[in-house]
Structure 1
């Protein structure tokens, strides 16, 4: 579907919760969306706990997680605080799209979208449309947000490989989780090793542990403070 058709309406901003286990990841998305505060309000950043206030859209970032995690998707679909669930991922495959279609997911959005494109897609989803980004070409590695190791020169995909290595996954498991070919996984890992200045898996694990490549503690982050009463969520504009 096209992503450049902006929804025009006189309504409040789309209320969005961003979900991922890595604090730097969710905060990076919030920073990317900040210039569009008149259209999208990031009301909650979540490092693992259920959504605590009503939102129009949950943006589920699949960094270091399987895009087709049935249990997490089903949990979000049952959450009375959530109107629409959206997968935010590089892994836009036929399998992921099929999972989304059968598990009440309102959109599958590519991490290569720019901030303006992402906002337009979120607006369309809140307006009742189902939005699926085109499949990505294997090897594309662009993202405007933040991720572990960005300041050290790692690309988003290289960073994800190291996170999963630190978590104990082998190359085949990483390929299955990230919907990549084994050769692509090996290529990303080799490039990451060069950037990190390591030449073995054990060294990469030590480097990753020292540089914060473990999931954040399961604690919620409130950008506006946890004592603010959440306003009621307006109904879908359709």
Structure 2
């Protein structure tokens, strides 16, 4: 793409080795991206004297503030780079206003594709292989049916057999809030009751990783 159209990337991370690695990936594709540097590689705020930024890659493992506070403090789109691979982490990031959540083991090609999708206005999710939680960049189970990340998460724990009380504790909502969302989830996936929802979910990749599995 023309140089004026390159996507401007900043990196929010205070570990020099990580910053240098991500910076090398971005710089290796200078026809598509340009790195907006800072003295330490850490982007804390959208300071008026800083060069314009389109996307901030935010490492949630070494971050000095919660993602919700960070997203609220900066202007550019934020993509969370996470060491975990759990749907609750994805939901928390997206509900905080992040434009995407990417597992740190993502390939270079998929990372760059994800940044371009975010720049185009999409929300992107990519987790570790085998987690059963994402089918390609930018997808979560049920997205094509209109399920939100939170609704997909509730259905996933529904399929694992958790009670409404247990789901509420897991996703940090009230029991009433969980129960209020169930009719809408059922409507979107075209079922009429819990048994049908579980049957649908288990056949459509809604099972979260088993927390007791070794």
TM-score normalised by structure 2 residue count: 0.52
Shift of 1:14: 0.9
Shift of 1:9: 9.4
User: More relative contact order in 1 or in 2 (CA 8 Å, sep 6+)?
Assistant: 1
Which residue does the alignment assign to 1:57?
A: 55
1:87 to 72, 80, 84: 80
Shift of 1:183: 10
Q: Kindly tell me: are residues 48 and 11 of structure 1, through their superposed partners in 2, closer, same or farther at Cα, counting changes over 3 Å?
A: closer
CA-atom RMSD in angstroms: 3.2
Does structure 2 conserve the Cα–Cα contact (< 8 Å) formed by 1:23 and 1:47?
no
Q: Does 1:74 align with 2:68?
A: yes
Any unmatched runs of 5+ in structure 2?
132-210
Shift of 1:30: 0.2
Q: Does 1:113 align with 2:111?
A: no
Which residue does the alignment assign to 1:21?
A: 14
Instruction: Describe the SS at the equivalent of 1:36.
Output: coil
TM-score normalised by structure 1 residue count: 0.47
Instruction: Count residues with an aligned counterpart.
Output: 132
Does structure 2 conserve the Cα–Cα contact (< 8 Å) formed by 1:92 and 1:136?
no
Shift of 1:118: 1.0
The residue correspondences of 1:83-232 to structure 2 (distance < 5 A) are: 83-137=76-130
Q: Kindly tell me: are residues 99 and 63 of structure 1, through their superposed partners in 2, closer, same or farther at Cα, counting changes over 3 Å?
A: closer
Q: Find runs of 4+ consecutive structure 1 residues off by over 6 angstroms.
A: 8-11, 181-184
Which residue does the alignment assign to 1:36?
A: 29
Does structure 1 conserve the Cα–Cα contact (< 8 Å) formed by 2:79 and 2:101?
yes
Instruction: Describe the SS at the equivalent of 2:112.
Output: helix
Shift of 1:63: 4.0
Does structure 2 conserve the Cα–Cα contact (< 8 Å) formed by 1:90 and 1:136?
no
Q: Kindly tell me: are residues 48 and 42 of structure 1, through their superposed partners in 2, closer, same or farther at Cα, counting changes over 3 Å?
A: closer
Q: Kindly tell me: are residues 26 and 9 of structure 1, through their superposed partners in 2, closer, same or farther at Cα, counting changes over 3 Å?
A: same
